Amino acid sequence: MAISSSSSSVLKIMLLLFSAVVGSGQLSPTYYARSCPKALSTIRAAVQSAVSSEKRMGASLLRLHFHDCFVQGCDGSVLLDDTSTFTGEKTAGPNQNSIRGFDVIDNIKKQVEAVCKQTVSCADILAVAARDSVVALGGPTWTVKLGRRDSTTASLSQANSDIPSPTSDLNVLISAFSKKGLSTSDMVTLSGGHTIGQARCTVFRTRIYNETNIDSAYAASLKSNCPSTGGDNNLSPLDVQTPVTFDNNYYNNLVIKKGLLHSDQQLYNGGSTNTQVNTYTRNPAKFSNDFAAAMVKMGDISPLTGTQGQIRLNCRKTN
Ligand code: HEM
Ligand SMILES: *[C@@H]1O[C@H](CO)[C@@H](O)[C@H](O)[C@H]1NC(C)=O
């Protein structure tokens, strides 16, 4: 007994030393296993309920995690409200009148606080809600690494500079992801998030009126709800075929020139990423697997861990 318990202690110490040396071991799938065993089931139930009330919410929650991770890393900065003394990210060009789901996050946070006070970060809630949203819409699942802490800062300027623009060409999209440690292949895979959700007329107007690498019937049908002037906030689905199902139709659309955004169609416009798009049209299982892996990678972007940052009590403001 004494021998086995001491040897298991030695093992634990060795593991601790190992993870301290490796350094990247801060996030872990079992982070809340002891401190908040109900965290994951609480988040999942709330996401399922929100998505069954409104399918688009699944898309909106997935996007919130993306916009969080691309600005200062996955630290919940996107959730902070502006105040008279604090400038958040919500008025940045890519976010204003666009990102949504804050009330759902508030509701999840309230429920999680009720089961474990000040234990689960808003950044982790975003990461788990993104996964549960994809699953709720029929997509793949993955194991979310946990233990992110919440920022006490936000960056409006980084939100404006680092979240990719829908008017970007392929080389610019590649650079934007590279800046976050993500490969060109990750970029193509993660863009598959546009198999769900909606976009406003203002972000695709130039494409449907002025671009030539678009299916003409598709462009014509979009024009009926997106006039050349006005109607800026009118919505169209990013995936014209199955807008509330997480599948590979995003890529099927690209090969027939039915990408909604200029940036979408850039992935299949005769450049280096054409082959990967073709692969995903033939092999939806590969897309699912790659998407799961790429989401884990995106969720790893510069997290705050250990004693960095804080666990916010309210996702909209620092403690
Ligand atoms: C590759 C660069 C990307 C660009 C240029 C881009 C751009 C956009 C734009 C312009 C919209 C529509 C916003 C609006 O009209 O209000 C949008 C929506 C969306 N994006 Fe992206 N995005 C990119 C990557 C991603 C990634 C990596 C994900 C997630 C993995 C993602 C998930 C979504 C979702 C789910 C929506 C729909 C949201 C909703 O319906 O509320 N996007 N994106
Ligand atoms: C299309 O291009 C023309 C000529 O450059 C420009 O005047 C017009 O504003 C553009 N339309 C849209 C909707 O971008």
CB 61 within 8 A of CB 103: no
Nearest CA to ligand 1 atom 27: 190
Share the mean pLDDT of the chain: 94
For residue 60, how far is its CA from the centre of ligand 1 (angstroms)? 9
DSSP secondary structure letter of residue 18 = H
Q: Is residue 203 part of a domain?
A: yes
Please give the span between the terminal C-alpha atoms of the chain, in angstroms, as a whole number: 46
Residues 200 and 93 in one domain: no
In angstroms, rounded to a whole number, what is the distance separating the alpha carbons of residues 211 and 216? 10
Q: Is residue 152 part of a domain?
A: yes
CB-ligand 1 contact for 317 (6 Å cutoff):
no
Please write the tens of the pLDDT for every residue from 253-293. 999 999 999 999 999 999 999 999 999 999 999 999 999 99
CB-ligand 1 contact for 65 (6 Å cutoff):
no
Residues 206 and 156 in one domain: no
Confidence of residue 21 (pLDDT cuts 50, 70, 90): very low
Q: Which of 67, 238, 288 to mutate to test the pocket of ligand 1 (most atoms within 8 A of CB)?
A: 238
pLDDT of residue 263: 99
Question: Which residue, 163, 179, 196, sits at the end of a domain?
Answer: 163
Helix (H) or strand (E) holding 236: strand 235-237
Question: Which residue, 128, 163, 198, sits at the end of a domain?
Answer: 163
Residues 142 and 191 in one domain: no
Whole-structure pTM value: 0.94
Question: Which residue, 131, 163, 195, sits at the end of a domain?
Answer: 163
Across the range 25-34, mean pLDDT stands at 92
Q: Is residue 240 part of a domain?
A: yes
Q: Is residue 76 part of a domain?
A: yes
Residues 158 and 234 in one domain: no
Residues 211 and 242 in one domain: yes
Amino acid at 68: D
Nearest CA to ligand 1 atom 12: 199
pLDDT of residue 11: 35
Gyration radius of the chain's alpha carbons: 21
Q: Which atom of ligand 2 is nearest to the CA of 210?
A: 1
Q: Which neighbouring-strand residues pair with 314?
A: 317
Q: Is residue 305 part of a domain?
A: no
Q: Which atom of ligand 1 is nearest to the CA of 197?
A: 40
Give CA angle at 100 (96, 101), nearest 5°. Answer: 155
The domain spanning residue 94 has which CATH number? 1.10.520.10
Please write the tens of the pLDDT for every residue from 196-252. 999 999 999 999 999 999 999 999 999 999 999 999 999 999 999 999 999 999 999
Please write the tens of the pLDDT for every residue from 297-313. 999 999 999 999 999 99
Residues 148 and 174 in one domain: no
Q: Is residue 307 part of a domain?
A: no
Q: Is residue 315 part of a domain?
A: no
Q: Which atom of ligand 2 is nearest to the CA of 205?
A: 13
Across the range 36-47, mean pLDDT stands at 98
pLDDT of residue 8: 46
Residues 157 and 32 in one domain: yes
With a cut of 80, say whether residue 3 has pLDDT above it: no
Across the range 130-150, mean pLDDT stands at 98
Confidence of residue 20 (pLDDT cuts 50, 70, 90): very low
CB 128 within 8 A of CB 43: yes
For residue 253, how far is its CA from the centre of ligand 2 (angstroms)? 25
For residue 209, how far is its CA from the centre of ligand 2 (angstroms)? 7
Q: Would residue 65 show up in a list of annotated catalytic residues for this protein?
A: no
Nearest CA to ligand 2 atom 5: 210
Residues 133 and 183 in one domain: no
pLDDT of residue 5: 41
Residues 159 and 196 in one domain: no
Residues 69 and 127 in one domain: yes
Counted domains in the chain = 2
Residues 154 and 180 in one domain: no
Catalytic residue among 65, 67, 194, 262: 67
Q: Is residue 5 part of a domain?
A: no
In angstroms, rounded to a whole number, what is the distance separating the alpha carbons of residues 204 and 221? 13
The domain spanning residue 229 has which CATH number? 1.10.420.10
Q: Where are the beta strands (DSSP E) in 146-253?
A: 198-200, 235-237
Enclosing domain of residue 158: 27-163
For residue 270, how far is its CA from the centre of ligand 1 (angstroms)? 22
In angstroms, rounded to a whole number, what is the distance separating the alpha carbons of residues 85 and 66? 26
Q: Which two tokens stand for residue 300?
A: 């790893």
Query: 3-state DSSP call for residue 315?
Result: coil
CB proximity list for 176: less than 8 A, separation 6 or greater: 70, 162, 164, 168, 187
With a cut of 80, say whether residue 7 has pLDDT above it: no
pLDDT of residue 16: 40
Please write the tens of the pLDDT for every residue from 91-135. 999 999 999 999 999 999 999 999 999 999 999 999 999 999 999
Residues 204 and 259 in one domain: yes
For residue 63, how far is its CA from the centre of ligand 1 (angstroms)? 6
